[in-house]
Amino acid sequence: MNGDRRTVGVPSHYTLLETLRYALGLTGSKQGCDKGDCGACTVLRDGEAVLSCIMPVHEAVGHEVTTVEGLANGPEPHPLQDAFDLTGGAQCGFCTPGILCSAHGLLTRDPNPAREDVARALSGNLCRCTGYTKIFEAVEIAAEALRTGAAPEEIVSRRRNPPGTA
């Protein structure tokens, strides 16, 4: 769990989401629809985005599970988290943890995704606040930051003030 081996006793009917939230206290993953439609509960299992609200917890045993809490590097936010903050990609925040995990899974597989690839990877995550444009921009900025080592702040500044403009 987020890089640490965890053992927890839960009822056999628990989902991964119930285990994360109620047994482990990891409340970043949100409980939305409870039927796999909204994506608010998305986490990573072995690097792949999964819906934790419909995954029986036993399917996570022996796998590396990463929640939104596990994306940051200690006190340093992940470039995705930074980019979402800088672009306004997170508004109410309810969908954000699931979107961050889905985007992280995409960027792990494809460090330079096209906008269509980002849209496809996030198609299972519903957001009612942003209209997705800022979310897509945030993922693109994070992808560039991860590829180049530039800080998301530098990339945002460069995009807003291209060289040669006054």
Residue 67 vs residues 34, 116, 162: alpha-carbon distances, Å? 17, 25, 35
Q: Does domain 79-160 have CATH number 1.10.760.10?
A: no
Sheet holding 65-66, edge to edge: 48-51, 42-45, 65-66
Is pLDDT of 162 > 90?
A: no
pLDDT in tens, 50-75: 999 999 999 999 999 999 999 998 89
Domain boundaries, the chain: 16-70, 79-160
> At 144, is the pLDDT very low, low, confident or very high (cuts 50, 70, 90)?
very high
Alpha carbon distance, N-terminus to C-terminus of the chain: 49
pTM for the predicted model, two decimal places: 0.94
Q: What is the pLDDT of residue 166?
A: 58
Planar angle of CA 139, 80, 116, nearest 5 degrees:
15
Q: Which CATH number fits domain 16-70: 3.10.20.30, 3.75.10.10, 3.40.50.880, 3.40.640.10?
A: 3.10.20.30
DSSP letter, residue 21 = I
- 51 near 39, Cβ under 8 Å? yes
